[in-house]
Amino acid sequence: MKTLRITLQDIFNIPTATIFNPDAFKSLLGVSIDTRTIKKNFLYVAIKGDKYDGHSFVSDAVKKGAGAIIIKENRLKSFENIDIPVITVKDTKKALGDLAALWRSKLNAKVIALTGSNGKTTTKEILTTLLTEKFRVVATKANNNNDIGVPLSIFEADAKTELLVLELGTNHFGEIEYTSNIAQPDIALITNIGESHLEFLVNSDGVLNEKKALFDVTEKRSGKIILNADDSRLNKLEKKYNRVVSFGFRNSNCVSGKILETDPMGRTKLRIVKDNKSKEFLISLPGKSNSYNFLAAVTIGLECGMSFNEIEKSAKRLKGVKQRLEVSEYKGLTLIDDTYNANPNSMIEAIELMKKIKRFKKKIAVLGDMFELGDEAPLIHRKLADVIQKSRINEVYLTGKLMNELYKELKKRKVSAEYFQEREKLSELLKEEILLDSVVLVKGSRGMKMEEFVKTIKDTHGD
């Protein structure tokens, strides 16, 4: 099978590119922006980030065998004495995207791209596990889903790759359209539309307009649209696209699911039906959101030609995703670690999950701020009092400036809650608190570093 390479013609196809020392150019085997992992005869692209400037590591890239480098055109004087080809461009990040689009065009693989307000990474991990039963799959690592991560994920695929699974993220208008145009998906999924990144996307309509760019790009190449018909905002898009495959927990969908039971640990047994064929699955991932994530992944697996039996076999290998509704069992304690990130929908889901876990009666929630919610942030935090009150949580421990809004609302309602302005005092309480016979949830946005409280609980109360 022919090895994929970046040719001199590919370099000429990069807008604004000028190549110096072209006679020394040899076809390149891949692309890297990190000198710690660069391989021989790879193209090194120097990108300036928030913490580091890739131009500072060009000499390291050359020493490690880079076949060529891409730099900003105004930095040329610093690298005139390098004896490998030097390519200058106006914007190295944009050049990375242009090269990824060229690489994508050389692939024989089908591209599956997914985005959404909640469940992107978990759905991607479930889908990858299912598909590897039958196909050679390359998928986005971790959540490298931005305008740098998506191109780098595309470069991970080679001539042997059959399916490329890409997670697309956003926090500002235009990012999904940009990465979708690079990815050129054959199959596209939006998991759901909720209140996420409102600081930049304004409201849920803004979130929808940003996310649906994935569907628009996929439609242009006659790809398949995998549509969550239970999501009221997405449901309205069904007639807008031609090749729609709907899924949800209603019988009218192309692929429909039914939750049969939930066990004391929150795990779900569900039946999935397509074309009068059905299969029952017991999934180890807790919460209704994970039932949707699983149903979405099964829908794509079926569209890729997998049978229910093949999906059942691969589903047995499913594991939870770290820090995303990750349930751990200790002696006398159930810990729900959902500390990777938080928005209103995922916060409500996590709180409601506590109610479904029946192993212990006592419920304790350790909650931190939700970020990027714009002007409505104080109100959105106060509204969490409704679900906390309904879920009958015994103790609520809060930290972060915005969670003080929730604390004041809970006190008005005479719900037991404590607010900690100093994180250290919350850590001390968790060390001293008797957590036996309890279900403990820890959740907050990434910047709140709530995983530190998980570590405290594990170190103090874990086996």
Which DSSP string do the residues of 255-268 spell out, in sequence order? EEEEEEEE-TTS-E
The DSSP element (H or E) to which 76 belongs, if any, is none
What is the architecture of the domain spanning 326-461?
Answer: Alpha-Beta Complex (3.90)
Tokens of 24: 């020394």
- The b-or-e profile of 402-439 (16+ CB within 10 A means b, else e) is bbbbbbebbeeeebebebbeebeebbebbeebebeebb
Helix (H, G, I), strand (E, B) or coil at 106: helix
- Give pLDDT, residue 355: 86
In this predicted structure, what is the pLDDT of residue 206?
79
Integer Cα distance of 443 and 327 in angstroms: 12
CB atoms within 10 A of CB 12: 12
Burial class (CB in 10 A: 0-12, 13-18, 19+), 287: buried
- CATH code: domain 8-90 is 3.40.1390.10
Q: Would you state the pLDDT for residue 384?
A: 98
Q: How many residues does the chain have?
A: 463
The confidence score (pLDDT) of residue 387 equals 96
- Residue ranges of the chain with pLDDT lower than 70? 1-2, 195-202, 463
Q: Compute CA distances 231 → 119, 154, 272, whole Å.
A: 13, 29, 18
What distance in Å separates the CA atoms of residue 69 and residue 295, rounded to the nearest whole number? Answer: 44
- Per-residue pLDDT, 296: 98
Q: Name beta bridge partners: 256.
A: 248, 273
How far apart are alpha carbons 49 and 45 in whole angstroms?
12
- The pLDDT value recorded for residue 195 is 66
Distance CA 212, CA 113 (A): 12
For residues 298 and 247, what is the distance between their CA atoms, to the nearest angstrom?
10
Q: Supply the CATH classification number for the domain 107-315.
A: 3.40.1190.10
User: Token match 């992992």: residue?
Assistant: 37
Would residue 61 be called left, alpha or beta, if left means φ above 0 and alpha means ψ between -120 and 50 degrees? Answer: alpha
| CA-wise closest residue to 196 among 112, 115, 139, 123 | 115
306's tokens: 């997998």
Q: Where are the alpha helices (DSSP H) in 110-211?
A: 120-131, 149-155, 175-183, 198-201, 204-211
* pLDDT reported for residue 348: 95
Specify the DSSP class assigned to residue 394: S
Q: Are 419 and 403 in contact (CB under 8 A)?
A: yes
Dist. CA 239–CA 222, nearest whole Å: 15
CA 347 to chain centre: 16
Are 88 and 17 within 8 A, CB to CB? yes
Distance set, CA 49 to CA 33, 55, 72, 172, 450 (Å): 11, 10, 13, 17, 25
Listed in order, strand segments (DSSP E) in 54-150 are: 68-72, 86-89, 110-115, 137-139
Measured at the CA of 92, the angle between CA 88 and CA 95, to 5 degrees, comes to 90
The pTM of this model reads: 0.89
The tokens of 391 are what? 């879920």
Domain ranges of the chain: 8-90, 107-315, 326-461
Under a CB-based contact definition with an 8 Å cutoff, are residues 253 and 246 in contact?
yes
Residue 330's Cβ-count burial label (10 Å; 0-12, 13-18, 19+) is: middle
- Residues 289 and 269: their CA atoms lie apart, in Å, by 13
Q: CA dist 333 to 265, 328, 453, Å?
A: 12, 8, 15
Residues 224 and 213: their CA atoms lie apart, in Å, by 14
Amino acid at residue number 34? D
Q: What is the pLDDT of residue 180?
A: 98
Q: Residue 463: what pLDDT?
A: 64
